[in-house]
Structure 1
Amino acid sequence: MLASFFAFLLSFFLTALFIRYKNLHEGLSADQDFDSPQKFHTTAVPRIGGLAILLGLLAAGLVRLISDSASSALILGLIACSLPAFLGGFVEDLTKRISPTIRLVTCFLSAICAYFFLSASIHSIDIGVIDLALQYPALSFLLTCLMIAGLTNSYNIIDGFNGLACMVGVITLAAIGYVAFRNNDSTLVFVCVATIGSILGFLIWNFPRGLIFLGDGGAYLIGFCIGVLSILLIVRNPGVSPWFACLINIYPIFETLFSIWRKKFIKKMSPGMPDGTHLHMLIYGRIARWINPNQSESFFSGNARTSPFLWVLSSLAVFPAAIWWNSTWILEILTALFCLFYIYIYRSIVRFKIPGWLK
């Protein structure tokens, strides 16, 4: 707990310093793009919050080195492997000139590092034919890198509103930590708690007012850590179903897959091009901003009111997964039900047939 507290404190105070002295760096760090379909802020805001989270994690790893070298090694290794993805996003936060393709490559580089240096590898998903294929190292390597890099990028996709990606990450990490605790895996419990602490230190300044943004670097960092920890939980604890890792991450995963399908086959556009019809954007445009619209600039603006809708949506998958973490068939059914529910919600909002309970 001491190391996790250090992670929280350092992240909290560094974020405060970034905000207090933003006049010194906002020429580089501020997000001044107000016209993109994925932008919903109206003033220039620093987007370097991910740096505070990274340094908070580093502090936790160094403090833990005194009492537990194994957990310290894991968190420091996790940070080291995350650097290609984090730096790819962080440089984009500063220069706004790094293409999506290059950033995706950096996500794959981090995934490759995790595969070789952290032993984060997928060898089974409890589907017979696929499990046989995954016994070939090359196929296991490809699937592992695809899953980690995909989830890393997914968190950048859902990072559209104050507190959205951070709280989804905290909820997911809490589930991983809980199941690790149930399986007496104290090392993973520590890493999850330390990561949560570091995220919360930043989140206090990000939600609800949006005084600083997570940035691409921060979103990639959170997504990468969750992707690797999800796999390591399965690798280190064979009693945990692989579908637990799938269900706790199904919201960002399905958001990404659905967006790719929607853009390519419905809109006939490149999946890499930004648009304004992600689920969280529709909730903002057609629900959240109309809740007490006369107070759009109040403490809880329409931006801040959007995120809780998605926190609840994510929790609908994460909480049941934490209950039935060792039951593959239940987790498979819940995964399918979540995807159907997502499509139902999306279709209802698009057609202006919003269910009364959602409003």
Structure 2
Amino acid sequence: MIGLLVAFFSSFIATLLIIRFQHLHSHMSADSDLSGPQKFHKISVPRIGGISIAAGIFTATLFRLQSNPSSSIETILLVCAIPTFAIGLTEDLTKKVGVKTRLFFTAIAAGMAAIYLGALITRLDIPGIDYLLALPGVALIFTIFAVTGLANAYNIIDGFNGLASMVGIITLMGITYVSYTVGDPLMMYLSLVMAASILGFFLWNYPRGLIFLGDGGAYLIGFWIAIITVMLVARHNNISPWFALLINAYPILETLFTIYRRKIHQGKSPGQPDGIHFHTLIYRRILNPICNAQKGDVFSANAKTAPYLWVLTAMAIVPAILWWQSTNTLIIYSAIFTASYVWLYKRIVTFKTPAWMHP
């Protein structure tokens, strides 16, 4: 418990200091581009919130090492996360690091975690696929691809105040519950220490958006969640591998749908930004027309967007933690969630938003 408090207060204070002294670093750290298709803030804001989250898990790891010198797994995980966090932070400061470079460094981090932590996806409970994963090197390649994809997915959904950070917290709480159920205190700790670190940032980010997560923060959260999810399934054979998919269903589906929309439907590069993500549509088609006139309201259209996606995230996480042992049930709910996502997206994009979604 003390370690979690250390993580929270370290992150909280680090965020406070970044905001308080932003006049000293805003020329490098501020997100001053207000014109992009995914930009919805009206003033320049620091986008280095990932530093706060990194500070939280770093200080908590140091504290844990002092009380338990044999605690090596969390230290290794922290070291493995350095490449993806560092390249994301570099993009936040320079605005010159391309998507392919960020994915390359994240893939390196995923490979390190797979090798040194045994974070490997070795089964999907699908005949034929499991045979392929048993072949030398296939599981490693597939794991690197999956972890890199989820880390990037958190960067994709990081579009509004409190969105990616609270999705991360909700997901981590689900992982904590299943870890508790199977009696794995280490996975509980790794989940909770990241959740505490995110919370220290979240209180400054939501609802007013005084600081942004940035690529460094988004990649760090996504990578950490991906690795501990893979590790949890690898450490307990009674947990279905589809638990890892369903508990991360929202960011995964948003990424896959984005690739389909840009590459297949629009004929563009999947790495190019656009303004028709699910969260963007909720903002533009549902909330912005209503909230635009509410000047001075701390819960602006931007702040009111994230709760819609928090609920969507919970729609996948609740069945994931209820039926974490049953592959067949999780596959069914994965299909239901996918169909619901596509149906809602189509209704909103065609100006047929269900009445119950309007505030």
Same fold (TM over 0.5): yes
What SS does the aligned partner of 2:356 have? coil
What is the CA distance between 1:79 and its match in structure 2? 1.4
Aligned position for 1:37: 37
Q: Is 96-105 or 296-305 further displaced after alignment? A: 296-305
Aligned position for 1:190: 189
Aligned position for 1:215: 214
* Root mean square deviation of aligned Cα: 1.0
| Contact persistence 2:291–2:300 (CA under 8 A) | no
What SS does the aligned partner of 1:66 have? helix
What is the CA distance between 1:291 and its match in structure 2? 3.6
Size of the aligned set, in residue pairs, is: 358
In structure 1, what is the Cα distance between the partners aligned to 2:339 and 2:296? 35
What is the CA distance between 1:266 and its match in structure 2? 1.2
Deviations 1:72-95 (A, max 9, x none): 422221111111111111000000
Deviations 1:168-198 (A, max 9, x none): 0001111111100001100111111111100
In structure 2, what is the Cα distance between the partners aligned to 1:49 and 1:355? 35
Equivalent pairs: percent with the same residue?
48
Structure 1 residues 69 and 315: alpha-carbon distance in aligned structure 2, compared to 1, 3 A threshold: farther
Q: Please report the TM-score for the alignment, with normalisation by the length of structure 1.
A: 0.98
What SS does the aligned partner of 1:35 have? coil
Aligned position for 1:153: 152
Aligned position for 2:231: 232
Amino acid at match of 2:248: N
- Structure 2: gaps spanning 5 or more residues: none
What is the CA distance between 1:104 and its match in structure 2? 1.0
Stretches (4+) displaced over 6 A? none
- Is residue 164 of structure 1 aligned with residue 174 of structure 2? no
Aligned position for 1:53: 53
Aligned position for 1:20: 20
What is the CA distance between 1:296 and its match in structure 2? 4.7
Aligned position for 1:282: 281
What is the CA distance between 1:204 and its match in structure 2? 0.2
What is the CA distance between 1:11 and its match in structure 2? 0.2
Deviations 1:101-140 (A, max 9, x none): 1111111111111111111001101001000111113110
What SS does the aligned partner of 1:65 have? helix
| Contact persistence 1:158–1:280 (CA under 8 A) | yes
| Contact persistence 1:84–1:109 (CA under 8 A) | yes
In structure 1, what is the Cα distance between the partners aligned to 2:291 and 2:209? 19
In structure 2, what is the Cα distance between the partners aligned to 1:63 and 1:220? 24
| Contact persistence 1:49–1:213 (CA under 8 A) | yes
| Contact persistence 1:296–1:302 (CA under 8 A) | no
In structure 2, what is the Cα distance between the partners aligned to 1:10 and 1:318? 28
- Is residue 127 of structure 1 aligned with residue 126 of structure 2? yes
What SS does the aligned partner of 1:253 have? helix
Aligned position for 1:67: 67
- Structure 1: gaps spanning 5 or more residues: none
| Contact persistence 1:58–1:79 (CA under 8 A) | yes
What SS does the aligned partner of 1:322 have? helix
In structure 2, what is the Cα distance between the partners aligned to 1:201 and 1:25? 21
In structure 1, what is the Cα distance between the partners aligned to 2:240 and 2:295? 44
What is the CA distance between 1:36 and its match in structure 2? 0.7
In structure 1, what is the Cα distance between the partners aligned to 2:142 and 2:338? 21
Aligned position for 2:139: 140
